[in-house]
Structure 1
Amino acid sequence: MAELDAGDLYYRIHCQKRAAVDDGYGNTVGDFETQFTVRAAYRHLRGGETVIASRLENKHPVLITVRASAQTRQISADWRLVDARDGTEWAVRDVTHETDRQWIALLCESGVAA
């Protein structure tokens, strides 16, 4: 991964997970609730067959990098991220803890159900 520093964390994102609410039938349902807000860097993915196929289906894959902390280490594939500026919603598809233990890379996709 390319070297990042604090200046690259240009965007603010709300990290949200679904609230666990029992519907009375044994199912857990609920809306997404913001757990915390952090700074992030975006890297839009280009090229490759899967990326081009996703774009044809109106999906937008992006790699969102956040600083590793006790909060961000909680993020998993059932969370979603929301851009604080424009409200773009990103479904988290994969979480990769970088080997330097300083950054967490989140493979996300917009235009899909979370």
Structure 2
Amino acid sequence: MMRENVAFDAPVLSPDGSGGHEREWAQRYSCRAKFIYSRGSEAVSAARLEGRAIYKIKVRQCDASRVIKADWRMRDTRRSEAYNIREVDAITDPKWVYLTVESGVAQ
């Protein structure tokens, strides 16, 4: 059951006024998702000790969800929490896109 509301943001470079660029985020897609808490692996255990949580996310496959990239971020729109996207699997299942996301790290 897809219970969570999420949005996906792509990085956008904008001028910072002093000749450089600043990274901002632009929302590209929003949808319902299912969070699946990851457990068991050594990497997941180490992440928890550092205050990070790793989740598997499942969203319906569509044109917009197939273009999500690992340099984007995902936001839980109900809890206002942002997650770094670590992996995107849009080819294993024709109905779903699976993502691995991580909270508690710098964007």
- Alignment TM-score > 0.5, same fold: yes
Give unpaired runs (5+ residues) of structure 2: none
Shift of 1:98: 4.3
Question: What is residue 58 of structure 1 aligned with on the other side?
Answer: 51
Question: What is residue 71 of structure 2 aligned with on the other side?
Answer: 78
Deviations 1:49-68 (A, max 9, x none): 11110000111000011111
Deviations 1:14-40 (A, max 9, x none): 111111324574x65321121121110
Q: The residue matched to 1:19 in structure 2 has which SS? A: strand
1:9 is aligned to 2:2:
yes
The 8 Å contact of residues 98 and 105 in structure 1, kept in 2 or not, is answered as no
Moved more, 95-104 or 44-53: 95-104
Size of the aligned set, in residue pairs, is 106
TM-score (normalizing by structure 2): 0.89
Deviations 1:56-106 (A, max 9, x none): 011100001111111111111100011010111110000012433110100
Runs ≥4 in structure 1, deviation > 4 angstroms? 22-25
Question: What is residue 95 of structure 1 aligned with on the other side?
Answer: 88
1:43 is aligned to 2:36:
yes
Computed over aligned residues only, the root mean square deviation of the Cα atoms, in angstroms, reads 1.5
Kindly indicate which of the two structures has a greater share of residues assigned to strand. 2
Amino acid aligned to 1:97: A
Amino acid aligned to 1:90: Y
